[in-house]
Structure 1
Amino acid sequence: MVHSSGDVQADERSPAERHTAAQARRKWPELTSFAEDYPFALDDFQIRACRVLEDGHGVLVCAPTGAGKTVVGEFAVHLALAEDAKCFYTTPIKALSNQKFNDLVDAHGAENVGLLTGDTVINGEAPIVVMTTEVLRNMIYAGSPTLGGLRYVVMDEVHYLADRFRGAVWEEIIIELPERVRVVSLSATVSNAEEFGDWLKSVRGSTEVVVSETRPVPLWQHMMVGGVLLDLFEPDGDYVNKELLKKDARARERSERSGGGRRRGRPYVDRGRVVSRLDSAALLPAIYFIFSRAGCDAAVDECVRAGLRLTDGADRDAIIDHATAACAHIDPRDLEAVGFDRWLDGLAAGFAAHHAGLLPVFKEVVEKLFERGLLKVVFATETLALGINMPARSVVLERLIKYDGTDHVMLTPGQYTQLTGRAGRRGIDVEGHAVTVWADDIRPKEVAGLASKRTYPLNSSFAPSYNMSVNLINAAGVARAEEVLASSFAQFQSDTEAVHLAEQARALSRKAAESAGAAKCDKGDFLAYFEVTQRLSQAERGAQKRRKGSLRDAARTSLEKLRGGDVVWISRGKRSGWAVFLRASGRGRHDLRWAVVTDDGWTGSLDSTAFDGGVEVVTRVRLPKHFNRKDVKHRNDLAAQLREATRDRSRPTRRGGAAETPEIARLREEVRDNPCRDCPDAGQHTVHASRWLRLKREVEHLKSRAGQREHSLARQFTAVREVLSEFGYLEGETVTDSGRLLRNIFCETDLLVAQCLRDGIWEGLEAPALAAIASTVIYESRFEEDEYFVAIPGPITDAVAATGRRWEAIRRAENSRGLSLISKPQLGLAWPMYRWSRGEELSKALAAADGPWPMPGGDFVRWARRTADLLHQMGTAARVIGTKGSNKLADEAFDAVDAIRRGVVADV
């Protein structure tokens, strides 16, 4: 029998085993104590990682979702308490911080555990403090006394450092933490764990890498085709299931015959049928990923309308009681505004959506009910996969394509693995199941490629921002700031890639030298001769391109002068011949076409290329007053007029080719006079010379890329400092009073906010107006250019205009230095935030949003909380200025925070 400590009962162990166990207890006594109290036996990778920690080293743990990485973080907590030291447990999002806080309070008592999430402070000086990463970064910059006695920092979900908006925070913390602190980095499976580990060693000292690719619950891969569930792979796991390929082919044929089975341009999926099939196969509970908020909500409605009920009476009562109690603090009018009754109907039937558009309290209820096993299917966007503890027996993927913010792209193998990693509940399920729903744009081999590939690299997104720069310079000067940037994982990867590129360049250079040797010619330098022939060809192509461009311009110019009834010659294409011009058509200067009728009665629109170098009007015919080119008789009558008008006319002379330029003439003469031209082996030499030239260009390209990567962050840091100096936040290497203000602003538009505060353009605004203007510098609209913005009367209109002028000035300064850090203010949330801050009910605020329909409640709450966070920063920063007007602004900012944090926006 095996105990939780990992030791075996004495009567079952050999003397050697007893000796080994005793040695382990002596060498790692804290791990032995920790493991004895743990509810299950620790896995090998957990034991290895914990031993590394107790030996006094940092550790990077990479393991699949659900494998139990957090055990290592919890052991760091245990060590801190045993050593009378501190441990900070950091998470990327507030929801995870709250979840971990509750877990640790249950384990160690409320007196030993604190929580810091920016706007929430609970027992902040406790030996164990859970916090978001931004809070720890800010504490480091401020030199907070709370850092005293800190021995361990757990960085949960450390792979977030790839996040392009927030990833830099992780690297700043890792680099800037005191040397005495041991960092426990917990990551999802990444293929470059060793590279990341090497970087951690370079900046943190002794750090060990522990990797586990073993899932605690085996995962089976399937596809569902026409309601039939089929294994993705053959039993040996190496090849795609032949039966699945046959089913796929037949389904594809049926789809083509029926027009693709599409609805609104996308494959149609009967979600109720999918859920029923999973239920009959005992594969529930399931997380069903749909990469669309509207799709998730629609899926719940579809299942409810189809009459599906996955809960019994007792479950329904428990669900309704829990959801009602969790939302009891919210104004009934606000609940009505966000569709509480509709949401509750879905919950009662065993279904729910989970996405960023839901109220946070709704999401928390869904997570808790799913964890309790009361909900059977959650339709979710991919944000659910980011650390929330919601394992399921099965995971369903409806599509393999998602919107990444700019385009619709295929899932990466890493994303596929993270999504399907939710399948299989440890201690409950013998196996987990990943199901991809068949559609005519999803092929089994594509799914197999995602499921079998093991390349999930972790790439840094670190880059210097304005706030980061002034904080680094203020803390230790420019030289130290440059050291931090040079120490980043981003520069580590860039330098590594530069080395690889240089190695590739050297290898290609050797091959180029071989080709150069093979191209040796007795008559002269064949490589020089070949380069001249290539320059000649390039010059001729350039001249031809310019000629075509000038002909196009000539054609456009002459065509724009035509009037209806002009007779012209179509010089190119299958409609070549005489034609009557009718009118210009198209949507703009670069999309014009010319409607004509030809002498055989054809009518249509042609672009300018049909008229070669231009047109010459040879005569005119009369267009009938009410000419209709769709009328056959009208066309035929006009064609007859055209034939009569051109009966004795000859075709216009086509314009000649481009004149030979002096450069082309010189190169032709140089080629003609070169002795290598007459070499009998010229053909063979050309083959080798062509390869030499191609390799030479590749080498130059690789060297250029390598040069761009070396010291790339240092160059960007120089540009950032120049902008800061231009606007007065730095004087040489000294942070000015304005720079002190900027140090307190932590958002993506940090410099713009600082400019507006420093220049006093937001002073005099009352709390609701200040909340509105603050929203403009953080909000990102889901629609084009705030098309639906409603102007707010009063002084805020002037403040918006003044804010825009300062953004323009920053944009010009950035453009001149190749930067693009500060995004343009967006106005779409201003009116809703203004109304909410004035105390109006939620439905009115949502209806005032920037789209053709009300803003989802969850979106509003998220942006409202971010606005409140910024207002709090603004209030703190305004105190730095210390004038009467700025102190009044600080008061209004803090009042605005209180006005926003009410009802559904308040943290409960």
Structure 2
Amino acid sequence: MSTEFDAFAAEQPFALDDFQRRGCQALENGHGVLICAPTGAGKTVVGEFAVHLALAAGGKCFYTTPIKALSNQKHSDLVRRYGGERIGLLTGDVSINADAPVVVMTTEVLRNMLYADSDALAGLAYVVMDEVHFLADRMRGAVWEEVILHLPEEVRLVSLSATVSNAEEFGGWIQTVRGDTTVVVDEHRPVPLWQHVLVGRRLFDLFDYDRLTPGAKPKVDPDLLRHIAHRREADRMLDWEPRGRGQRHRPGGYRPPSRPDVIGTLDREGLLPAITFIFSRAGCDGAVAQCLRSPLRLTDDDERDRIAAVIDRRCADLPESDLAVLGYYEWREGLLRGLAAHHAGMLPVFRHTVEELFAAGLTKAVFATETLALGINMPARTVVLERLVKYNGEQHAPLTPGEYTQLTGRAGRRGIDVEGHAVVLWRPDDAGAEPTEVAGLASTRTFPLKSSFAPSYNMTINLVNRMGPTAARALLERSFAQYQADRSVVGLVRGAERGQRLLTEITAELGDNAPEVLDYARLRAEIGERERAQARASRLARRRAAVDALAELRRGDIITISQGRRGGLAVVLEPAGDAEDPRPLVLSEHRWAGRISSADYSGASAKLGAMSLPKRVEHRQPRVRRDLASALRSAAAGLDVPSRRRTVRGGAPERDVDAQLAELRERLRRHSVHDRGDRDATMRLAERYLRIERDNDALRQKVAAATNSLARTFDRILGLLAERGYVAGADAATTVTDDGRLLARIYSESDLLVAECLRTGAWNGLNPAELAAMVSAVLYEPRGSDGPAPQYDAPTAALRTALTATRRLSGALRRDENRHRLATSREPDAGFVTAMYRWATTGDLTQALTAFEETGGPLSAGDFVRWCRQVLDLLDQVRNAAPDPAVRAAAKRAIGQVRRGVVEVDAG
């Protein structure tokens, strides 16, 4: 009997792989599915089968993606296949045919629908979550778990993930929260991937493929190792060469190939089109500029005409006055020569044009940041990695095997290439590019999926509004984050149970006297700890006394150096400059001159006296040191010098004995175990008992910290929201107030701060341009920012007042968060305020970018549009949520003033 799967498979231009068949058949049999397969393997076929099933049964399917660019691309794919009347698109700022049976959307849009109990959810049969491994994203990953937990039980979930090493764990969690789910894992690449290293202009295989045996770990190609060894030896010989009398350093040796040389080598080897990953936006743009300065051309006249037609169609609506500031002419020339950059800082219409031309085979070499590796369908024949180190937001760190796999997975176009190629550039100064290191990355398949889920203010208020606190806690405890935490606890609990068995065995070995033996052992342990604490306190007191004494010394003072080989008399030549770590310059009676610290001077004895010194003492001259040492001995002749008296070293007065310590020692002497003949043997057992007991206590503390950790955070957030009037009542009677319903409609990293500004009227009275600028302050975050935001001036008095009020609210909120032991919210940053205000008032891109440069340095047009998009999203929320009608009206007008020019061109 023919099935829907048979009909679907017959429509495909290629025979389906086994993993695709298994996923589709599980879906037709009524199961949810989790597909984990390499990039480019064709996971989306299973997602498209969900679309097919929904349309065939007259139901609905939502196809969700992590980013708008991927949603736009998937929408175009499905429209080509099923027609525009059956496919819709929702990405926050774009709504096309939203009532269609199949709607492509960003995951945030679906999350918002679920919280709002949208009518659009009626009849929903399937949800596809493309790139579901994005739930590990620190900033936005929680949204995926919210959707998975909130979807109605009858909805079948199709989760598509890159290959992760804990697929079974992830699948196990989905089964616990969504019911019957089939997990399909496939690590086979449909297009084989060959690994290479480029040394100069010579391309080597990374592995010795000729001697590769099935199942064995591949070995690095010996020809590659020999060539690099010879290259290093040649450089070493070139480093020095005779020049007249002696030798002179000669710079030179190996130089990594230039970008045009690399692309030229790939072209000669037939390895284009290629994506070169450069972990810097400026680096990507610089690479294109470098190639444009060379004679490199990768297109013929016919291709140039086709490229020009696409550019003209895509960019027809760009204001001509903005083309120069957008870098349009350089970008166009690069494309005409087959070259382009691709990164998040580009103008979206430029980026989308690059994607279209690359997919058509007209762009031959793309220099991209790693954002291209996320879902966007731009595979190439070859992927090039210039370096194996990237900045992770805090430091430059080596690529992980998972990152290497994700990036190189773009190589090899299914249905076009019989094989893909990954090329790493060898550099003598890059330890990570050594063949053995590259081989380790290329042969390791570890990419664990870790949840980033944590309750936020908006999530908390929506959960309470929908189901009440008790059910909300239960839902949080079902999250993947808690599932992983609980699984990690299993080993800890097992360790504690093993420890408890050992304690029972030791107790049995101690026999009937176990309680009193353990009591004695605890008494000894308490005494030992108290003695160590007293010794630490004594050391600190002695060091503080020495520091204070050193800080008080003045020029000409005679002292005794009490420690070390410099011990004896000394005179102070220069007093200490730093009261916290004083280091005066002294001359000893043995003619040594130098600075001393608290390690040399105990401070137990006060200064012995003083002597006169010349106005200037040249202590580095031996004669001066000799004469001054003689004068020091003469001056000290009549003084009472401790170093010349016979004293016991370290003979400080006995310190006061701690009364409690004395009492403990007396209890120990009177204890019944103290005089037993077998005391030492039993103490060894008892001390082992106490050691295991301490370890067990530490394990239990870790278990307690992991168990119900999300529910505890939820309760702290709920406590703060109750104090601020967003919820009322307690426990099961907790209800969401009007202010809480306002917060429930704000989806932003600064959700509670925005709600505070709206309900307190901090933004009342702002005109549309001022409101847009003000909204940018709670969104904008400069790249690589660290520490408090700079205090930029605002262009109008009303904005300055609103900024002051917003910062005051932010400070109060952060204090409350600290008190409730919550992570503190990010402070407002006015770095984009002037640029946003200038754009909203003039619509002039040059003016807006110039305004930003005056305070924040250069800003790319792409980044400008990206921030404008975020401002539009939040303005739309303000338009719906603000309690003041004037603020709602200003937000509506502000949206029109921001969405124009280059921002409007890219809205679709």
TM-score interval (norm. to shorter): 0.7 to 0.9
- Out of 700, 703, 714, the position equivalent to 2:700 is 703
Per mean C-alpha deviation after superposition, the further-off stretch among 696-705 and 651-660 is 651-660
Aligned counterpart, 1:582: 574
Aligned counterpart, 1:406: 394
* Cα distance in 2, alignment partners of residues 550 and 70 from structure 1: 69
Partner secondary structure for residue 104 of structure 2: strand
Matched, 1:357 2:345: yes
Amino acid paired to 1:792: P
Give the 3 Å change call, closer, same or farther, for CA 367–622 of structure 1 in structure 2: farther
- Out of 341, 357, 370, the position equivalent to 1:382 is 370
- Out of 144, 150, 163, the position equivalent to 2:137 is 163
Residue pair 1:552, 1:612 contacting (<8 A) in 2 also: yes
* Cα distance in 1, alignment partners of residues 262 and 625 from structure 2: 57
* Cα distance in 1, alignment partners of residues 323 and 736 from structure 2: 48
C-alpha RMSD over aligned residues: 3.5
Partner secondary structure for residue 111 of structure 1: coil
* Cα distance in 2, alignment partners of residues 255 and 617 from structure 1: 62
Give the 3 Å change call, closer, same or farther, for CA 425–521 of structure 1 in structure 2: farther
Q: Deviations 1:114-135 (Å, cap 9, x if unpaired)?
A: 1111111111101111111111
Aligned counterpart, 1:17: none
Aligned counterpart, 1:418: 406
Give the 3 Å change call, closer, same or farther, for CA 771–423 of structure 1 in structure 2: same
Partner secondary structure for residue 867 of structure 2: helix
Aligned counterpart, 2:249: none
Matched, 1:69 2:11: no
Give the 3 Å change call, closer, same or farther, for CA 310–724 of structure 1 in structure 2: same
* Cα distance in 1, alignment partners of residues 630 and 302 from structure 2: 85
Per mean C-alpha deviation after superposition, the further-off stretch among 144-153 and 269-278 is 269-278
Residue pair 2:277, 2:367 contacting (<8 A) in 1 also: yes
- Out of 271, 288, 305, the position equivalent to 1:283 is 271
Q: Deviations 1:633-683 (Å, cap 9, x if unpaired)?
A: 998887787676557764669673765434544555666777878999888
Amino acid paired to 2:51: V
Residue pair 2:790, 2:829 contacting (<8 A) in 1 also: no
Give the 3 Å change call, closer, same or farther, for CA 329–565 of structure 1 in structure 2: farther
* Cα distance in 1, alignment partners of residues 782 and 605 from structure 2: 48
Residue pair 2:200, 2:257 contacting (<8 A) in 1 also: no
How much has 1:143 moved relative to structure 2?
A: 1.6
How much has 1:82 moved relative to structure 2?
A: 0.6
Give the 3 Å change call, closer, same or farther, for CA 821–163 of structure 1 in structure 2: farther
Matched, 1:100 2:74: yes
Partner secondary structure for residue 830 of structure 2: coil
Per mean C-alpha deviation after superposition, the further-off stretch among 799-808 and 408-417 is 408-417
Amino acid paired to 1:208: T
Q: Deviations 1:75-134 (Å, cap 9, x if unpaired)?
A: 111111110111111111110111011111100011111111111111110111111111
Give the 3 Å change call, closer, same or farther, for CA 834–221 of structure 1 in structure 2: same
Give the 3 Å change call, closer, same or farther, for CA 676–122 of structure 1 in structure 2: same
Aligned counterpart, 2:583: 594
Aligned counterpart, 2:850: 847
Per mean C-alpha deviation after superposition, the further-off stretch among 122-131 and 348-357 is 348-357
Partner secondary structure for residue 838 of structure 1: helix
Aligned counterpart, 1:241: 220
Give the 3 Å change call, closer, same or farther, for CA 643–317 of structure 1 in structure 2: farther
Q: Deviations 1:531-574 (Å, cap 9, x if unpaired)?
A: 55544443333333222322333333334444455555555566
- Out of 72, 80, 87, the position equivalent to 1:113 is 87
Aligned counterpart, 2:898: 900
Q: Deviations 1:395-428 (Å, cap 9, x if unpaired)?
A: 2233333332233333332222211211211122
Amino acid paired to 2:902: V
Q: Deviations 1:21-52 (Å, cap 9, x if unpaired)?
A: xxxxx2x6111111111111111111111111
Aligned counterpart, 1:14: none
Matched, 1:860 2:864: yes
Residue pair 2:547, 2:582 contacting (<8 A) in 1 also: no
Structure 2: give runs of 5+ residues left out of the alignment: 240-253
Aligned counterpart, 2:741: 740
Amino acid paired to 1:899: Q
* Cα distance in 1, alignment partners of residues 469 and 514 from structure 2: 60
Residue pair 2:748, 2:874 contacting (<8 A) in 1 also: yes
Q: Deviations 1:316-355 (Å, cap 9, x if unpaired)?
A: 4544553454334223443323433343444344433322
Amino acid paired to 1:746: Y
Partner secondary structure for residue 180 of structure 1: coil
Residue pair 1:772, 1:834 contacting (<8 A) in 2 also: yes
Aligned counterpart, 1:811: 814
* Cα distance in 2, alignment partners of residues 839 and 364 from structure 1: 27
Residue pair 2:551, 2:575 contacting (<8 A) in 1 also: no
Q: How does 1:424-823 map to 2 (within 5 A)?
A: 424-438=412-426, 439-442=429-432, 443-511=434-502, 513=504, 531-564=522-555, 566-572=557-563, 578=570, 580-582=572-574, 584=576, 592=581, 594=583, 596-599=585-588, 608-613=598-603, 616-620=606-610, 650=641, 656=652, 659-666=656-663, 692-732=689-729, 733-782=734-783, 783-784=785-786, 785-787=788-790, 789-820=792-823, 822-823=825-826
Per mean C-alpha deviation after superposition, the further-off stretch among 400-409 and 699-708 is 400-409
Amino acid paired to 2:340: A
Residue pair 1:521, 1:685 contacting (<8 A) in 2 also: no
Amino acid paired to 1:114: G
Matched, 1:130 2:104: yes
Q: Deviations 1:515-541 (Å, cap 9, x if unpaired)?
A: 677788999976665555544443333
How much has 1:498 moved relative to structure 2?
A: 2.5
Q: Deviations 1:329-382 (Å, cap 9, x if unpaired)?
A: 223443323433343444344433322222222222222222222333322222
How much has 1:585 moved relative to structure 2?
A: 5.2
Per mean C-alpha deviation after superposition, the further-off stretch among 655-664 and 674-683 is 674-683
How much has 1:892 moved relative to structure 2?
A: 1.1
Residue pair 1:523, 1:679 contacting (<8 A) in 2 also: no
Residue pair 2:831, 2:856 contacting (<8 A) in 1 also: no
* Cα distance in 2, alignment partners of residues 778 and 254 from structure 1: 54
Q: Deviations 1:251-298 (Å, cap 9, x if unpaired)?
A: 678889999xxxxxxx99544354444344333322222222233333
Give the 3 Å change call, closer, same or farther, for CA 659–67 of structure 1 in structure 2: farther
Residue pair 1:391, 1:425 contacting (<8 A) in 2 also: yes
Partner secondary structure for residue 387 of structure 2: coil
**Size of the alignment, in residue pairs?**
866
Aligned counterpart, 1:183: 157
Aligned counterpart, 2:243: none
Amino acid paired to 2:870: R
Q: Deviations 1:697-727 (Å, cap 9, x if unpaired)?
A: 3322222111222222221111111111111
Residue pair 1:369, 1:375 contacting (<8 A) in 2 also: yes
Residue pair 1:519, 1:686 contacting (<8 A) in 2 also: no
Partner secondary structure for residue 891 of structure 1: helix
Aligned counterpart, 1:195: 169
* Cα distance in 2, alignment partners of residues 58 and 460 from structure 1: 20
Residue pair 2:571, 2:586 contacting (<8 A) in 1 also: yes
Per mean C-alpha deviation after superposition, the further-off stretch among 230-239 and 203-212 is 230-239
Amino acid paired to 1:406: E
Give the 3 Å change call, closer, same or farther, for CA 513–435 of structure 1 in structure 2: farther
Partner secondary structure for residue 800 of structure 2: helix
Per mean C-alpha deviation after superposition, the further-off stretch among 609-618 and 426-435 is 609-618
Partner secondary structure for residue 447 of structure 1: helix
TM-score by length of 1: 0.87
* Cα distance in 2, alignment partners of residues 604 and 335 from structure 1: 67
Residue pair 1:556, 1:614 contacting (<8 A) in 2 also: no
TM-score by length of 2: 0.87
How much has 1:250 moved relative to structure 2?
A: 6.6
Per mean C-alpha deviation after superposition, the further-off stretch among 358-367 and 652-661 is 652-661
Partner secondary structure for residue 779 of structure 2: coil
Amino acid paired to 1:441: A
Partner secondary structure for residue 63 of structure 2: strand
How much has 1:62 moved relative to structure 2?
A: 0.9
